[in-house]
Amino acid sequence: EVLKTRMQTSRRGGDTAAGSSGSNRPGTMASVAARVWSDSGLLGFWAGMTPNIARCCIVNAAELGTYDQVKTLLVLHLALAEDSGACAVLSSAIAGTVSAFASTPVDVIKTRFMAASRVGQSGGVLGAGREIVAKEGWSALYKGVGAVVVRKVAWCC
């Protein structure tokens, strides 16, 4: 995940850390891995692990809790049959949307950790979150939420 993220974000702001000197290309996976190793050692390959675990917990809690609650409400208030396809699809779509909004801030922090050249420079997960909000505002924690909603709805349905 770290290598993929570094390769995908290496063009941002002219960062050539992953590519060859003077190039604006991300470089090979081997060159990116060598750069992670030289910058952060073995732990660099696990950058963003804590927010990734938190994200998994948030996604699962949001999807599982929301799905059952929404399904119950749809049956009671819209008179949908509990075992109908419409009820399942609508419940899944809403659960995926809630999950996307709940997990996107953690996704943003995780991606920043993985894209950073040095591990732990932001003072941990909360420090990274505070730094993002201070520099870019609260909306920065929801960058890409539209794409995440589309992906989650498609995945959940």
d(CA 155, CA 157): 6
Mean pLDDT of the chain: 83
Q: What is the pLDDT of residue 9?
A: 73
- Assess if residue 13 is contained within a domain: no
Kindly state the average pLDDT of the residues 16-25.
Answer: 47
Most confident of 40-44, 52-56, 75-79: 75-79
Q: What is the pLDDT of residue 21?
A: 46
Cα 92 from chain centroid? Answer: 19
Residue-range definition of the domain harbouring residue 117? 51-156
- Assess if residue 41 is contained within a domain: no
- Assess if residue 110 is contained within a domain: yes
8 Å CB contact between 131 and 113: no
Kindly state the average pLDDT of the residues 106-131.
Answer: 75
- Assess if residue 45 is contained within a domain: no
Start-to-end Cα distance in the chain: 25
Chain segment 59-88, per-residue pLDDT in tens: 999 999 999 999 999 999 998 999 999 999
- Assess if residue 16 is contained within a domain: no
- Assess if residue 25 is contained within a domain: no
Backbone Cα Rg of the chain: 19
pTM for the model stands at: 0.71
- Assess if residue 78 is contained within a domain: yes
Does the pLDDT value for residue 29 go beyond 80? yes
- Assess if residue 11 is contained within a domain: no
What is the number of domains present in the chain? 1
By the 10 Å C-beta count (0-12 exposed, 13-18 middle, 19+ buried), 1 is classed as middle
Does the pLDDT value for residue 23 go beyond 70? no
